[in-house]
Amino acid sequence: MTEAASHSQFTPRVFSGIKPSGGLTLGNYLGAIKRFVAMQGEAYETLYCVVDLHAITVWQDPAELRTATREVAASYLASGIDPEKSILFNQSQVSQHAELGWIFNCVARVGWMNRMTQFKEKAGKNAEKQSLGLYAYPSLMAADILLYHATHVPVGEDQKQHVELTRDIAAKFNHDYKTEFFPLTNPVIEGPAMRVMNLRDGTKKMSKSGESDMERINMLDDADTIAKKFRKARTDPAPLPESLDGLKDRPEARNLVDIYAALSDQSPEAVITEYAGAGWGQFKPALADLAVAKLAPISSEMQRLLDDPAEIDRILARGSERARAIAAPILERTYDIVGLVR
């Protein structure tokens, strides 16, 4: 692969997505949505997707899937994704995702899929009983990204391996068909909150599907619930140290400092400088107040948008049309390269 294929011939374009599977967490907000908003502007063309075809790799009740799809769309809008500046849509309305996904199923190797840690974690000992879709999921994710020749993909740390696989698929396609058609996409994983941890166990990721609701902050939690969850968050008894080094073996403490930093747009160092020597009785309420100040306006705007699902559907339909206008010629060109007669 030459430099040309990885950079200059491609328009700077951002693509990212979130699965509509259950409620959104503070991890989704800080690791993804907040950064999606920040990337809107002059530097990139931005596409943000509700990846419903990914959600159904595990069972989704149809009515709940529809609600969750509108909820992710509402969270994008309420957080500041502007549907004029960005292309906001849901994956299943642009059939080219599934079509390019099939082609990539024929490029990716079984051995590559076997190395995907997310599948191993999700499948556990029950790999045989998982859907074939869950196993092939990273290949569809590569299609999501490469269908738009996206150059940059903002994601949380847990998605790094999937973006690297996307590069492997692009490189193998380009090599096999002697072309430089697909770019080598860059993951964008920056800032203090790329892996927001579980509030009850600082060694586990905060996720939509943990056993207890006390483990996570949901974007739609009310102020009292947020305050209670931070108050009850697990910590060690020691106060905050003088420097970040002092948080090395204190994952729960480190997590709360990182959350504070991300919410207040500061570095973790700056937070430690401000709160050096403070006890949890001081830090936790400050963190809760900050989280409520940032999340409350977003959740009330989400509620307002969700009262009018037809308007959300109109925005998604319009975004899908704009997405198709980019995707269709790229898929057609791919078919030509592969030798599919049309």
The Cα–Cα gap between 79 and 301 comes to 9
What is the x/- site pattern for ligand TRP, positions 38-67, by CB under 6 A?
-------------x--x-------------
Q: Which of 195, 234, 318, 324 binds ligand AMP (CB under 6 A)?
A: 195
Rounded CA-CA distance 204/210 in Å is 10
- Annotated active-site residue in 19, 205, 229, 294: 205
Query: What binding mask, one character per residue, do residues 84-123 give for ligand TRP by CB under 6 A, x or -?
Result: ----------------------------------------
Rounded to an integer, what distance in angstroms lies between the CA atom of residue 5 and that of residue 21? Answer: 35
> Could you say whether residue 156 binds ligand AMP (CB under 6 A)?
yes
* CA dist., res. 249 & res. 195, Å (int): 16
> What distance in Å separates the CA atoms of residue 240 and residue 279, rounded to the nearest whole number?
6
Q: Is 28 in the site for ligand AMP (CB under 6 A)?
A: yes
- For residues 171 and 184, what is the distance between their CA atoms, to the nearest angstrom? 7
Active site residue 294: no
Which of 66, 11, 29, 49 minimizes the C-alpha distance to 259? 29
The reply to whether 174 sits near ligand AMP by the rule CB under 6 A is no
Catalytic residue among 160, 172, 208, 228: 208
Q: Does 45 bind ligand AMP (CB under 6 A)?
A: no
For the chain, state the CA radius of gyration.
21
**138: contact with ligand AMP by CB under 6 A:** no
- Position of tokens 């037809």? 310
Each residue 159-178 as x (binds ligand TRP by CB under 6 A) or -, in order, gives x--x----------------
Which among 311, 313, 292 has a CA at the least distance from the CA of 220? Answer: 292
Catalytic annotation on 228? Answer: no
Q: Which residues are catalytic?
A: 122, 205, 208
**Which residues of the shown chain bind ligand AMP in the complex (CB under 6 A)?**
18-19, 27-28, 31-32, 155-156, 158-159, 193-196, 205-206, 208
